[in-house]
Chain A
Amino acid sequence: MNLKDIIHYFFLLLAALAAVGILMAKNVLHAALSLIICLLSIAGIFVLLHAELLAVTQIMVYAGGVVILMIFGVMLSSRVANKPLNVETARKIPGFITGAGLLFIIVYALTTTSFSLHPNSSTPASNNVREIGFQLMSSYVAPLEIAGILLLISLIGAAVTASFLIKK
């Protein structure tokens, strides 16, 4: 077991613990901070899997954008309602039965399947970003443009939906 493996399993464990932290959190703010830890450790796993572009995107978009958006949402909504941010839980037993059942099914499927992947035959790390750039501008240019239009539409939609708050 070399240093890379140790870092890999450290990030694996951290992501799992942070996910449990989200589940156990009573406060929405604590849950959002646990989500940041989880997303950053997944970004670390992406780096170790030679997916550097995706790791940087993950850090910029999720940890820098989505979670800050959610924290702002938490603060704004608590100011409107003037109530504490504690979250009640309901339907605990059906929820845990569903989650444990899904986990059991997936783990059963994974243990009975053999994957013929060869982790050591990966391409050098420096090629990947360049290759993704070429692919995005050649094979995947239509999805890229559609994704850009979708981003614009959702940006305008979110701004219009939230701007009614100011008008009132």
Chain B
Amino acid sequence: MAIEHLLYLSAFLFSIGLVIIITKRNAIMMLLGIELMLNAANLNLVAFGYDGKIEGQVFALFVVIVAVCEAAVGMAIVLRVYHYYTTSVPDDISNLKEQR
């Protein structure tokens, strides 16, 4: 098993995540794409720490923690926006404040 193949997979997952974020018109799908990109970065960190070094794994652990925080707050905001605008299409939401 070669490290390069893991790096290719990581690049592929990162690109797919970027395409999901750009093309899908739904806030929850965008959160899924962000999770995919974070995991691709994690895969890189672990792959480079394969030869006995654990710094990459420790860093990946902190990436997971921050990703969880981001997902929780992101879902709360998406639910709130959905409740107020009754849409989860980010392109349709252009008002920050209630119009009078």
Which residues in A have some Cβ–Cβ distance to B below 8 Å?
Answer: 4-5, 8-9, 12, 15-16, 19-20, 22-23, 28, 31-32, 35, 38-39, 42, 45-46, 48-51, 53-54, 57-58, 61-62, 65-66, 69-70, 73-74, 76-77, 80-81, 87-92, 94-96, 98-100, 102-103, 106-107, 110, 115, 117-119, 121-123, 128, 131-132, 135-136, 140, 143, 147, 150-151, 153-155, 157-159, 161-162, 164-165, 168
Distance (whole angstroms) from the CB of A17 to the closest CB of chain B: 11
**A153–B19 Cα gap in the complex (Å)?**
31
- Collect the chain A residues with CB atoms within 8 Å of residue B12's CB: 16, 19, 103
Among B1, B71, B88, the one with the most A-chain Cβ atoms within 10 Å of its Cβ is B1
Please tell me the number of chain B residues within 8 Å of chain A, measured between CB atoms. Answer: 70
Task: Assess whether B93 is interfacial by the CB under 8 Å rule.
Answer: no
A49-B46, A73-B79 known; A123+B22 contact, CB < 8 A: no
